[in-house]
Structure 1
């Protein structure tokens, strides 16, 4: 299996940490196995941190565990600088940085549970798919 680059939306990271039963968890395993490479940016890592630390009691993770997790994602991921902003483009401006990351990195795939939030991404050649669809695609 060849490696696949993706932009991992925060809700997929959260879901994978919340439950070890679903496709989101399997994607996290594939990241740790080096089969999937998350493309990351500073704004995305800050968003991961904010969401995970806000809900850390639900996830049963300490600040230290979240920091280590984010360090691992940074080590395993491919950092991308975003030098051109397409805002506002998406319905929810908080998602624009995710689309901008996919465009800047030439990553043609955003994996998310909220496909509708990324309507119009196809105009940039970006496929937006759910975790289960992604796993089917890379079989």
Structure 2
């Protein structure tokens, strides 16, 4: 069975940190079980860190800067690094999303997982599937059931 290679948009980590009940959190558990490979570039990891350490995010989750660092350090153990050789900008309406798309393209990802599918409509030009966490989780479950 082939292990899928995907890029997780930052909003997946935010959603997972805010609720243990959703598909985003389930995807982090699946990552821990090596059911897929997450890809990340340095700019994307820095984005993860910046967003997860926002004061409003810390206040909502009750996490501290230290626990957020611990989470990111643990996450990095399950991530395959991607070096950005080609920049494809501009492709998207939101410049902050460009690094997510570039990581997926440079890492030969098989999917980009996001809660904002409509933000990545341009990905279809690159034949890159853009999936919600629920859709990707369903896909993973189907593969493991077969």
Aligned position for 2:116: 114
Q: How does 1:66-77 map to 2 (within 5 A)?
A: 66-77=68-79
State TM-score, norm by structure 2: 0.91
Work out the CA distance in 1 between the residues paired with 2:6 and 2:107: 10
Are 2:29 and 1:19 equivalent residues in the alignment?
no
**RMSD between superposed Cα atoms in Å:** 1.1
Cα contact 2:5–2:38 (8 A) shared by 1: yes
Aligned position for 1:97: 99
Query: 1:88-110 CA distances to partner (integer Å, 9 max, x unpaired)?
Result: 11111110111111110110200
Work out the CA distance in 2 between the residues paired with 1:16 and 1:3: 22
Structure 2, unpaired ranges of 5+: 142-146
Q: CA deviation at 1:36?
A: 2.1
Which runs of 4 or more aligned residues in structure 1 lie more than 4 Å from their structure 2 counterparts after TM superposition?
none
Q: CA deviation at 1:4?
A: 2.1
Cα contact 1:4–1:36 (8 A) shared by 2: yes
Are 2:144 and 1:136 equivalent residues in the alignment?
no
Structure 1, unpaired ranges of 5+: none
State TM-score, norm by structure 1: 0.95
Work out the CA distance in 1 between the residues paired with 2:32 and 2:74: 8
Aligned position for 1:8: 8
Cα contact 1:99–1:121 (8 A) shared by 2: yes
